[in-house]
A and B are shown apart, each in its own frame.
Chain A
Amino acid sequence: MKIRGVPVTDSTFESIRSQALDRVQELYDGTKPVIMVGTATCGRAAGALEVLRAIRDELAKDHLDARVFEVGCIGHCYAEPFVIISKPGHPAMAYGYVTPEIAKRLVKDYVIGEDISLEFSLGALEENDLIPSIYDLPRFAYEKHIILENCGHIDPEDIDHYIAKGGYEALAKALKMQPQQILEEIKQSGLRGRGGAGYPTWQKWEICGNSRSRPKYVICNADEGDPGAFMDRAILESDPHSVIEGMVIAAYAVGARHGYIYVRAEYPLAVHRAKIALRQARRLGLLGRSILGSDFNFDIKLFQGSGAFVCGEETALIASLEGKQGLPQHRPPFPAVSGLNGKPTLIDNVKTLAYVPRIIKNGASSFSSTGTKESKGTAVFALAGKVVNTGLTEVPMGTTLRQIIFDVGGGIPNGKRFKAVQIGGPSGGCLPESALDLPIDFDSLREVGAMMGSGGMVVLDEDDCMVEVARYFLEFTQRESCGKCTMCRLGTKQMLEILDDITKGRGRMEDIDTLYEMAEDIKAGSLCGLGRTAPNPVLTTLRYFRDEYDAHIKERRCPALMCHDLIAYYILPEKCERSCDACVGTCTVEAISSNKKGIKVIDQEKCVKCNTCREACPPQYNAVIRLSPPELVLAAKGKK
C-alpha cells in the first residue's frame, strides 16, 4: 500500500509539548493558590458564573494574587457549583454546592487564611495524610475514567492544559505509523461506536479507508438529541481537544482531508469551546496544512445543527450538512462508501472519537482489558431523574445497573422506592427492578428490550407513572418524526392518541392489542432508527408494568398519582394545622381558602394541580395529598 506522510520530526511535537509543560507547571509552581470553577452548562444553571465573579471580586478586594480559571464538568453535577482550590503546601480540595456567599468565605478563610473549611468540602482530590480523599467514596470503586479523565481538571479553553496532560501525543505517534497499523490497533481494541448502535468502529474505518473515491470526510456526530442525555455536551465543554485529536487520527487513518463537527445549536457553550479549541489547534500546527510538519493536511469546520432530533441519524445529518431537510436515506450505500456530497464519509460519535487518542497512546490492550467479551472498554452514562448523585459517570462495560444507580448514583432520594430506569432515551426502554442485576453492555440491553443508546439514564421512582413515561417518549418521537415514512409519521400519531386517551381515563382494554399491533408495524415500516425504535418505550412498559395500564383503563386510576386528569389534590382536615397559611399563600391560582374552622379547603374547579401547596405544607403536617381517581375527593368529603 501507498505510504502516506513523511515521518514527523520528533522535535516538532517536542517543542510544542515542552512549551505547554512549562506554562502549566508555572501555574502550579507552588507560589500562588490555584482556584478552578466548573462552568459547564450544568454548573452555569446552578450559578457557577456568579460564584466565579464572587471569587474574583473577593480576591481583588484583598489584592491577592491567585490563579483563577474555568474548567469543565467533573461529573458530580448534583454538587454544582463545584470549586477546586489548590493551595501551596495543601492537597487540592474540592468544594460542592458553592454559593457566592460560600465562595467569598472560602477565599477569606482558606485562600487567605488557614481554615480549610471542611464543612463545605467534598474531600481532597489527592491522597494525603490529613483529609479524606474524594476518591475514598464508594463510587470510585466502580468507576474507571478513560474519556472523562480530563473533564473538570483542565481549562478547556487552553490547549496547553490538554497537552500537559499528555494530549496530542497520540497524534504525534499516529503520524509515524502506517494508516493500516492504526486500523489494526483500533480493531484489536474492540472499540464499538458509542452513538448507540455499537457498530465495530474499525469496520467503518476500513470501508472508508479502502474507498478510492476522493475527497473523503470525517464527521463528528455531536447532535446529541436524546432528552435526558448530556455526555457529549459535557465532553465538548470540558475536553474538546480529545475529540479533535481523535478526528485527526481518524482522518489520517482513512485518508480524509476535510472534517466537520456537527453540534446542536442548543449547546451554545459546547459550540463556543469547540471553536476556540479548533483555533488553538490550528495555531500550533496540530490541524490544517502539514500537521506537525508531516505532509498530511486536514482541517475541521464546525457546523451547528438546527434542532431536529432525526439529524442524529447519520444519513439525515449528512442531508442537513448539504443544506437540505434532514431526511434519512436508505442504507446501503453506507456513508463510509457514499456520504457527504456522495463521497466516502466517516461518521463517529463524540465519545467514540474521544477514545481514539487514548487507544493509540496506551495501546489497544489498555482499552480491551476493560469490559465484557463483546463490549470492550467503558460506558459513559448521564444519570438524571430520581437519583441522589445526578451527573456523569464512566464505568467498565459489564457493570450492573444496581451498581450504577445505587453505588455510584447513591440510590433514590427522599426514601422513595426505585421503580424503573429509562435507558437510551426515546429509542430505549424502561427496565424494572428485576433487571437491576443485569451486567450492561450493547448486547445484554438489547435482549431485555432496551438499548444502550447514547447513554442517557433516567431513574424513576414510585411517583412516576409508567404509562405517562411511555406517552411522553411517544409524543417526542411523534413530534420529531421527519415524516418521510408513513408508518412512522402516522403510526406514532395513532399510538400517541391511544396513550393520551389512557392517561386521561378514556382507555379501553382492546387498545392494548392495537398498541402491540401498531408497534410491530412501525418497526417494520420505518427506514431509520427513529421509527424502528420509537415503539420501544411503549413495548417495555407494557412488558414490565402492565398492571399500571390496567389500573388506568379499568379503574380510571393512576397508581403513581401523576396523570393530571386522574388525580385531585385534597387537604386532610384532621391533619391541617389551621393557623398555618403556607398553602394559601403559595397557591399560584388562589384556589385555597380557609373555612370557618380555619381548615384549608381546595376549590377543585380552580385548582390547576401544580403541586405547589403539597410542597409548601410543612413536613410535620403533610396535610396535602393526591387522590386517584379524583372522585375520591367527594367520597372523602362525604365521610367527614
Chain B
Amino acid sequence: MTEEQEAIRRETRRVLKRFGKQRENLVPILQQVQAQLGYIPSEAMVEVAQSLKIPEMDVYSVVTFYNQFRLNPPGKHSIRVCLGTACHMKGGYIVLDAWKRRLAIDRGETTPDREFDLDTVACVGCCTMAPVTVVDDEPEGKTSPTRVDGILLSYQLEKDKEGKGAK
C-alpha cells in the first residue's frame, strides 16, 4: 500500500469513528469523507464498506448515484456554473462555454495544474442574481464572459503575489 493510500484509509477511519455502524449513516459518512479528502477514493469506499459491513458494491452505487460525490480529486478552486432555469435563460450556457474555453477543460474535469475544477450545479437558489457561478462556495451573481476573465485574473494576480511573497 502506498503512503497516500495509507493516509486515505487513516483519514477515513477517523471520520468513521464519529458515526454508528448503521447503514443509514452511509450518506453522512461519505459527505464527511468528501469534506476531508475533497473526493471519495476507492480506498475510502472499501474502508467504509468494511466498517458498515455492507458490500463494497453498495457503497460504490450510492457514491455514483448522487451528484454531490466526486471520484477524482478536485482542483484548488472549484467553479460551479449554475444551470437553473433562470440562469439558463439569462445565458448560463454561454458562461459555461466561457469557463470551458478559458480553462480548456470540460464539465466534471480538473485543470492539469490542479488549480481549478469545473462543474455545473442544478440550481443554487439565487435565481434573481442569474447567471450565477459559485466560485469556491461563494455565489457570484451576474457572471458574464468578461466577468469570467475578471475572476480568473484576480486568481492569477493573487498567485503572482504569493509567488513574490515566497521569494
Contact = CB atoms under 8 A, between A and B. Distances in A.
Interface of A: 41-42, 44-47, 77-78, 80, 224-230, 233-234, 265-268, 303-304, 306-309, 320-326, 382, 384-386, 390-391, 422, 425, 456, 458, 460, 464, 469, 472-473, 476, 480, 482, 586, 588-589, 608-612, 615
A588 B146 contact: yes
Contacts of B61: 325
Interface of B: 22-28, 30-31, 58, 61-62, 65-69, 83-91, 94, 97-98, 101, 121-130, 132, 137-141, 144-146, 148-149
B90 to A, nearest CB: 7
Given A384-B86, A589-B101, A476 B122 contact: yes
B144 A612 contact: yes
Contacts of B87: 227
A225 B146 contact: no
Contacts of A472: 85, 88
Contact of A266 (B31, B124, B141): B124
A42 B129 contact: yes
A307 B122 contact: yes
Which 9 A-B pairs give the minimum distances between C-beta atoms?
A228-B85, A306-B66, A323-B26, A307-B67, A227-B84, A384-B127, A230-B125, A77-B128, A390-B128
Given A228-B85, A323-B62, A41 B128 contact: no
A588 B22 CA distance: 52
Contacts of A609: 94
Given A326-B65, A608-B97, A610-B145, A306 B85 contact: no
A480 B146 CA distance: 31
A385 B86 contact: yes
A226 B128 CA distance: 15
A621 B31 CA distance: 53
21 contacts: A41-B125, A45-B141, A78-B128, A224-B125, A225-B123, A227-B87, A227-B88, A228-B86, A303-B28, A304-B28, A306-B69, A308-B65, A309-B122, A320-B66, A322-B24, A324-B58, A325-B62, A384-B85, A425-B85, A608-B101, A612-B144
A44 B138 contact: yes
Contacts of B31: 265, 304, 306
A267 B62 contact: no
Contact of A458 (B65, B69, B86): B86
Contacts of B90: 385
A368 B24 CA distance: 40
A399 B83 CA distance: 29
Contact of A322 (B23, B130, B138): B23
Contacts of A586: 146
A232 to B, nearest CB: 8
Given A41-B126, A610-B98, 12 more contacts: A44-B138, A224-B125, A228-B123, A265-B31, A266-B124, A267-B124, A320-B66, A324-B23, A390-B127, A422-B85, A458-B89, A588-B98
Given A45-B141, A385-B86, A325 B149 contact: no
A306 B25 CA distance: 13
Name which of B31, B84, B97 has the most chain A CB atoms within 10 A of its CB: B84
B17 to A, nearest CB: 18
A458 B139 CA distance: 20
Find the residue from B61, B89, B132 having the highest chain A CB count within 10 A. B89
A268 B67 contact: no
Contacts of A266: 121-125
Contacts of B122: 225, 227, 266, 307, 309, 476, 480
B93 to A, nearest CB: 8
A46 B85 contact: no
A185 B101 CA distance: 58
Contact of A611 (B27, B68, B86, B94): B94
Contacts of A384: 85-86, 127-128, 130
Given A326-B66, A610-B145, A267 B125 contact: yes
Contacts of B125: 41-42, 224, 229-230, 233-234, 266-267
Contact of A306 (B58, B67, B97, B98): B67
Contacts of A268: 137
A324 B61 CA distance: 8
Contacts of A460: 89
B70 to A, nearest CB: 11
Most chain A CB within a 10 A radius of its CB, from B28, B66, B101: B66
A321 B24 contact: yes
Contacts of B127: 228-230, 382, 384-385, 390, 456, 458
B62 A324 contact: yes
A588 B89 contact: no
A113 to B, nearest CB: 31
Contacts of A80: 128-129
A391 B138 CA distance: 20
Contacts of A44: 126, 138-139
Contacts of A326: 65-66
Contacts of B145: 588, 610-612
Contact of A323 (B23, B67, B98, B123): B23
Interface centre among A309, A464, A609, A612 (most CB of B within 10 A): A612
Contacts of A321: 24
Nearest to B59: A323
Contacts of B27: 303-304, 306, 320, 323
Contacts of A265: 31, 68
A323 B86 contact: no
Contacts of A480: 122
A309 to B, nearest CB: 6
B25 to A, nearest CB: 7
Interface centre among A268, A323, A385, A609 (most CB of B within 10 A): A323
Contacts of A234: 125
Contacts of B65: 308, 325-326, 482
Nearest to A79: B128
Contact of A46 (B30, B58, B129): B129
Contacts of B86: 227-228, 384-385, 390, 458
A408 B29 CA distance: 44
A308 B67 contact: yes
A303 B61 CA distance: 19
Contacts of A308: 65-67
B61, B123, B144 pick with most chain A CB within 10 angstroms: B123
A345 to B, nearest CB: 13
Nearest to A323: B26
Nearest to B67: A307
A321 B4 CA distance: 32
